[in-house]
Amino acid sequence: MALGKAQGKTVIVVEDGPGFYTSRILAPYVNEAAWLLADGGDIRDIDEAMVDWGFPVGPLNLLDEVGIDVAEKAAKTMLEAFGERMIPPESLQRVISDGRLGRKNKKGFYTYDGKKKKVDETIYDLVPNGRKRKHLPAEEIQQRLSLGMCNEAALCLQEGILHSARDGDVGAIFGLGFPPFRGGPFRYMDAVGAAEIVRRLRGFEERFGKRFQPAQVLVDMAGSGKKFHG
């Protein structure tokens, strides 16, 4: 902490675990973006929806910047640690097998040929539904991605990886670019209300399975009316 503060950084303390905190809550967020793509979603729609929600870049754009191969290695660690809720779609492996690493080899979800960056339409040949894309509602995209991240943050608090909701909010905003005006995942869940968050998660769980199973701490709060902050 002293070293971080000496560098002028905002520091939080988390316990040891796969992905610690920020990488762990990022995993279901980008994984859900891959599921949306496998479900027939449009790359531009997915990224623009999350930028409109308040993130600095969209999740698939972020994968290109970080490196799709790097994300794949992290995803394997998460899958081994957390099982079913971190399962990626099979089509993501085809994207990786096609040699797409992202910006670093100028081959990813977007083109990098020196002109204006645009979606690489050939990637659709590697995923279900081909180039026939469905224009999913922005609200559904935003809820599926943001709720996956927020639910994982609640699990981190429930398991003691986080020491406080405040640390979780600070870490998500400064470490991941979570929309500052939403206050972080815990402030956001407080604003929406635990009961409504659980209702939305249950709806997605019925449609898509265990990756949307709500954290027990959220279920308990939905029944008691408590909030993470105060």
Report whether 102 contacts 62 (CB < 8 A).
no
β-partners of residue 134 are: 41
Provide the pLDDT confidence category of residue 113 given band limits of 50, 70 and 90. confident
Q: Which of 135, 152, 142, 125 is nearest to 214 (CA)?
A: 152
116, two tokens = 């204006």
Name which of 156, 153, 159 is nearest 190 in CA terms. 153
Domains (ranges, CATH) in the chain? 22-126 (1.10.1040.50), 138-224 (1.10.1040.50)
Provide the Cα torsion 221, 225, 228, 230; round to 10°: -150
Mean of the per-residue pLDDT values of the chain? 95
pLDDT, tens digit, for every residue of 82-93?
Answer: 999 999 999 888
Q: Determine contact, residues 47/58, Cβ cutoff 8 Å.
A: yes
CB 190 within 8 A of CB 229: yes
